[in-house]
A = this chain, B = another copy of it.
Amino acid sequence: MTAVSTLADSPEQVETVMAAASAAAAEVSAATPSTRAEWLEAIAADVEADVEELTRIADLETGLGPTRLSGEVSRCAQQLRFYAAVAVEGSWLEATIDHANGATPDLRRIRRALGPVAVFGASNFPFGFGTLGNDTGSALAAGCPVVVKGHPAHPDTHARLLDLAAQALSRVGAPAGVLGGVSGFAAGQALVSHAAVTAVAFTGSQQGGLALWREANARDVVIPVFAEMGTVNPVVVTPAAAAARAEEIATGCVGSFTLGVGQFCTKPGLLLVPAGSGIGDRLVAALQGAAPGGRMLTDAIAAGYDAGLARLTAAGARVLGRADAGDAAAAAAAAAAAAVLSVPASSVLTGSAVLEECFGPVIVLVEYADQAERDRVLGCLQGALVAGVMSGGPRDADVAGLVPMLAATAGRVTVDAWPTGVATTWAQHHGGPWPATSNPASTSVGAAALSRFTRPVAYQGVPTSALPEALRDECPWPIPRRIDGRLVVPEVTS
């Protein structure tokens, strides 16, 4: 058998790809985590080997530049290997055994793969959150076939990644249908309403994510949508930080909010600064010196950025400064010039469009008079993927109070680090309260990403031969299990 990766571009072809995914579901789920890890490692190796061509194709389609893109290819391969390792470690299965005890029966629980998962690739990370990114990697690791709807901004990258993966999967004997691809709006719609799809993973705009979420909620059998959507990520500069290192903060902030032409879901969108700190002027200066603007991913995204800036100024934000879009970029389509805007904190305390996301290289300074006003602004914010504090160092007394306040609105809290940059590790959480995600407990990056694509099943009085292997008294794999209430971790043998 060979692994299928048909690029369906019509609802009819979705049927073909989904039929293959459905047919593969039982085998993918029943494969051991080690087997699935081999599949992921094979894909990772082939992706790495193709870095030059992938970078070339993606740069033509996105303009994100070879340095950024080749680095993202490497990270994509690392992510696939990470999810392979997480699958093998086995904690995500939550294997739990309660032997019969007096009145309670023999009960055993494990997480089970849901079935075919639809992944909607992001515009801004063709490798990290695209065809073979975090969603696809974690779903395959958890035992689900995946059908990816590629983002229209980079169809050739999508096709190339699917081809690479199909060859790698075929080489290591993965079942046909373990990974498939579709393209186009109609195909995406057909995918979400397809009876055999069991979950949807999405990275992108609030508009797109909420549309998918509504569509999934309107199904006869409602399925979970894990939509990781853009948010306004706030960063608070404490008075001590502003006093000690305004220049450094301004430079760092410009680097963060203009990274990838501001097209990161973790872009800082609000910078809360003490009034009169002079950080606004320093930001404008840093912007002129460092960030030439650039080409956004698509004309529509560039037009959305312009409309967003107009909305922010209409809502009362003052333009402190704009970058030069750069000669080449300005002449090209989809050009965008970075911008620094400002509002007094007092103007947003009863809610304001200034507090809503504008996708692109813009940051809004919110100047607060004192701690009370700063805290009131924080109480007005929407849920966010990430929130940060820039401190005056270890003795800055503001940090201990700010961290829990920010944790109440965000999925990740950083101190003295800009929010852009999401490491794929065991402790990572890339999610956050509504509307950052449609499911505030789920993450699209890190070890916990696998469990999105599973649900627990309890087995009561089931004879050994009919139990999943990981729930038998003698488990064939060295995984952590909870036995009669006690967590038992296998000894490290390496």
Contacts and interface: CB of A to CB of B under 8 A. Distances in A.
A487 B480 contact: yes
Interface string A177-215: 000000000000000000000000000000000000000
Contacts of A112: 407
A454 interface: yes
B417 A458 contact: no
B107 A425 contact: yes
Interface stretch (A255-263, A317-325, A363-371, A440-448): A440-448
Nearest to A91: B487
30 contacts: A91-B482, A96-B426, A96-B427, A97-B427, A98-B425, A104-B423, A105-B417, A107-B427, A107-B428, A109-B428, A114-B440, A221-B434, A222-B434, A222-B435, A399-B463, A399-B466, A400-B465, A400-B466, A403-B466, A407-B459, A410-B457, A413-B457, A415-B460, A415-B463, A416-B461, A427-B482, A428-B458, A430-B458, A431-B456, A441-B456
A43 B253 CA distance: 51
A276 interface: no
Contacts of A492: 486
Nearest to A219: B434
Contacts of A114: 440
Interface in A84-115: 89, 91, 94, 96-98, 103-105, 107-109, 112, 114
A352 interface: no
A412 interface: yes
Interface of A: 89, 91, 94, 96-98, 103-105, 107-109, 112, 114, 217, 221-224, 383, 394, 399-400, 402-404, 407, 410-417, 423, 425-431, 433-435, 438-441, 443, 446-448, 451, 454-463, 465-467, 480, 482, 484-489, 492
Contacts of A394: 463
Count of identical protomers in the assembly: 2
Contacts of A459: 403, 407, 412-413, 415
Given A109-B428, A415-B459, A441-B456, 9 more contacts: A94-B448, A98-B428, A107-B428, A112-B407, A114-B440, A221-B383, A403-B459, A403-B466, A415-B466
Given A403-B462, A423-B105, A462-B413, A456 B434 contact: no
Contact of A109 (B427, B434, B457): B427
